[in-house]
Structure 1
Amino acid sequence: MYQEILAFALATSGWVLVSSTLPTDYWKVSSLDGTVITTATYWSNLWKTCVTDSTGVSNCKDFPSMLALDGYIQACRGLMIAAVCLGFFGTVFALVGMKCTKIGGSDKSKARIACFAGVNFILSGLCSLSACSLYAHRITSDFFNPMFVAQKYELGAALFIGWSGSVLCILGGGVFCFSVADCKKSQTNYVYKGAASHSHVPSYQRGRGQSVSQRPPPEYSSSSRAPNFDKNVYV
């Protein structure tokens, strides 16, 4: 139960960080420093591109068309939305499948639901990690390309938040899966030991209150004929 609570805390924290990354402004940032007065900061995310002057006034421009965007931005949008949705369903399934909750049915059903929640959290972390890594790869490729003459950007704070949230989601989902596997292993060992301790006494014999040790021993004949068994002996 404590492992599941730790996993839920890690995975939920990671999902919150991943969800907050999607609308965050600074996915990539670039600053132009001239004099003390004229300083402009260019930044962009998955939805718009903006410029902020030294007075703090920002001028933003939304991306006009989704189909006219670069392929990596469309891929990052899809991956981040998938990460948020998977994390949401993972949180719901985790609440149902945890041992400390009173919903979810039997222990076997709750274990399956908790394992499914762990898989959702892992997939959510992988989607967010892929989106942030793809976006960062495009930024670094343009920055170190000597033939690229347009505005060059650097990694923004949103990417680091997304990476940290992805790691937390993957860790939480992994702990969920391992906790369910340990629980199943312990239950299997318990059932095996319990089954070995039962005596093989027929139900009708136990009903009459006679144990195995109370049966009279069989009487064998000294002749060559087949032995004569007592009438209370059973095979």
Structure 2
Amino acid sequence: MRKQLVQILGFLTSSLGWTFVLCTMAMDYWRITQLGGQGGSFIIKVAWYWSNLWKDCFTDSTAITNCRDFPVLWSVTPFVQGVRGLLMCGLTLGFFAVVLSFLGMECTFIGGGDKTKDKMLFSGAVFHVAGGVSNIAGYCLYINRVARTTFSASLEPGILRYDLGPPIFLGLVGCFLILLGAIFYAVTVFRVICPESKVVYAYGGGTYMVPRSRGRTYTGYYKPSWQNGSYQGSGPSNSSKISKLSQTIPTKMSERDAFV
């Protein structure tokens, strides 16, 4: 039950983060700057310049907005094109991650057996991590471009100093949620995907380490030679129980007993 709850929490968290990133693609005010302001208690002149991934806009004090859409695909500003590509790649990976995670959850009745579902869930976590890293790279590229202009000592005429808008912060929160959900997924299936080797103790301190070979385990007894023991293995099996010895240890007869 605890495993199911953690997986459900991971699914809700990662899906919410993926939705946040998707919403930022269509939001306005990725970067914004204000011209003018207040003089005393009267507004002298104010205007806002703002941009997103698809257009540049100007809004005056009368709430009239004029926008200029970015040109065709191959003539867009390079950094904007790079942000678009990284975010779209991250969203695509996130979509496949959501599907794999949903099929691999223990509470769903589709996706195959338990081992298959665990592998699918682990694959979904990997896709979420890759998509989250791609999204973070896209936002960081945009932030770097805005910061370089904002903190520059001297700017050419006509270049404005922009501030970061709400979509950037919403997208970063979404990336954090995606990575957090992937961690929840990985915690529930990591032990199943990567099991640890076990050590079996038998007969006076003799040890035998169970090897891992393509998902199978080999169990058996090991008895030190100084105890006149023998080794008997049970062969490849899916059970972790130790088989019992089917042979008894022969004892040597003394000459007197043989004579009698």
- Class of the TM-score when normalised by the shorter of the 2 chains: 0.7 to 0.9
Q: Structure 2 residue aligned with 1:58, among 53, 56, 65?
A: 65
What is the 5 A alignment of 1:136-215? 136-149=143-156, 150-184=159-193, 195-199=240-244
Q: Structure 2 residue aligned with 1:90, among 63, 88, 97?
A: 97
Question: Quick one: which amino acid aligns to residue 23 of structure 2?
Answer: S
Matched, 1:111 2:118: yes
SS where residue 38 of structure 1 aligns?
Answer: strand
Relative CO higher for 1 or 2, CA cutoff 8 Å, sep ≥ 6?
1
Change (3 A) 1:49 1:200: farther
Aligned to 1:22: 25
Aligned to 2:47: 40
User: What CA distance in whole angstroms lies between the structure 1 residues aligned with 2:45 and 2:146?
Assistant: 25
Q: Which stretch shows the higher mean deviation, 18-27 or 62-71?
A: 62-71
Question: Quick one: which amino acid aligns to residue 223 of structure 1?
Answer: A
Q: Which string of whole-angstrom CA distances, capped at 9 and with x for unpartnered residues, describes residues 123-147 of structure 1? A: 1111111111110111010111122
| CA deviation after TM superposition for structure 1 residue 100, in Å | 0.3
Matched, 1:223 2:230: no
Percent identity of equivalent pairs: 33
Q: Which stretch shows the higher mean deviation, 176-185 or 70-79?
A: 176-185
Question: Quick one: which amino acid aligns to residue 119 of structure 2?
Answer: R
Question: Quick one: which amino acid aligns to residue 28 of structure 1?
Answer: R
How many residue pairs are counted as aligned between the two chains? 210
Q: Which stretch shows the higher mean deviation, 88-97 or 169-178?
A: 169-178
Aligned to 1:75: 82
User: What CA distance in whole angstroms lies between the structure 1 residues aligned with 2:71 and 2:44?
Assistant: 32
Q: Which string of whole-angstrom CA distances, capped at 9 and with x for unpartnered residues, describes residues 54-83 of structure 1? A: 222211110113222222111100011111
Q: Which string of whole-angstrom CA distances, capped at 9 and with x for unpartnered residues, describes residues 111-160 of structure 1? A: 11000100111111111111111101110101111222311111111110
| CA deviation after TM superposition for structure 1 residue 40, in Å | 0.9
Q: Is the 8 A contact 1:18 1:83 kept in 2?
A: no
Question: Quick one: which amino acid aligns to residue 162 of structure 1?
Answer: G
Question: Quick one: which amino acid aligns to residue 5 of structure 1?
Answer: I
Change (3 A) 1:26 1:188: farther
Matched, 1:3 2:12: no
Q: Which string of whole-angstrom CA distances, capped at 9 and with x for unpartnered residues, describes residues 25-61 of structure 1? A: 1110001124515311111011101111122221111
User: Given the two structures, how large is their TM-score scaled by the length of structure 2?
Assistant: 0.73
In terms of fraction of residues, the more helix-rich structure is 1
Q: Is the 8 A contact 1:39 1:54 kept in 2?
A: yes
User: What CA distance in whole angstroms lies between the structure 1 residues aligned with 2:124 and 2:164?
Assistant: 32
Unaligned runs of 5+ in 1: 202-211, 225-235
User: Given the two structures, how large is their TM-score scaled by the length of structure 1?
Assistant: 0.80
Question: Quick one: which amino acid aligns to residue 65 of structure 1?
Answer: V
Aligned to 1:232: none
Q: Which string of whole-angstrom CA distances, capped at 9 and with x for unpartnered residues, describes residues 183-211 of structure 1? A: 4467987x88962355356xxxxxxxxxx
